[in-house]
Amino acid sequence: MLSPSLEDYLEEIYRFSTQLGYIRITDVAKKLDVSLPSVNKAVNILSQEGYLKYIPYKNIELTEKGAKLGKFLVERNRTLQEFLEVIGSNCDKEEEAEAIEHYLSKETVEAMTLVVKFFKERPDLQKRLIKFEERARKKMK
Ligand code: MN
């Protein structure tokens, strides 16, 4: 199991590898707003744990294990943002998904994924939910 912080590193590294085709320490540092030594440290741990291959100053490459978990982490983040959207939360979806993503079991993530899928298949029901919430919120005021 990776720590929340290492999960975030791997998640961003996976995004860079799929979107840019290459991974650079400086890009990861900028994206996560952390120092270069911090990224270096994380990359070394991820390398030791078999998630990537790292040749300092040359190349970072995800292993199969790293790519598999990276893909899961990116999809989990996206699903959580979509979940917050479909249930009608007015929160900052990006920020909140980022915060809760590390603390949910696989079972809960799966159930949330299915809720998203359910409402995608039944947009009429999603609209009803949102209407219901609007009425309920007015009453609560
Ligand atoms: Mn996070």
Tens-place pLDDT, residues 6-28: 999 999 999 999 999 889 999 99
What residue ranges do the domains of the chain occupy? 4-67, 71-140
Find the 103 Cα to ligand 1 centroid distance in Å: 10
Find the 53 Cα to ligand 1 centroid distance in Å: 22
Tens-place pLDDT, residues 49-81: 999 999 888 889 999 999 999 999 999 999 999
**Which option is the CATH number for 4-67: 2.130.10.30, 3.30.70.20, 1.10.10.10, 3.40.50.1370?**
1.10.10.10
Class of domain 71-140: mainly alpha
Find the 130 Cα to ligand 1 centroid distance in Å: 27
Spatial contact of 88 and 39, defined as CB atoms under 8 Å apart: no
Q: Rounded CA gap, 131 and 18, in Å?
A: 38
pLDDT of residue 79: 96
Nearest Cα to Cα of residue 75 among 49, 104, 107, 113: 113
Tens-place pLDDT, residues 33-52: 999 999 999 999 999 999 99
Find the 7 Cα to ligand 1 centroid distance in Å: 7
pTM: 0.88
Residue 89 has pLDDT above 90, yes or no: yes
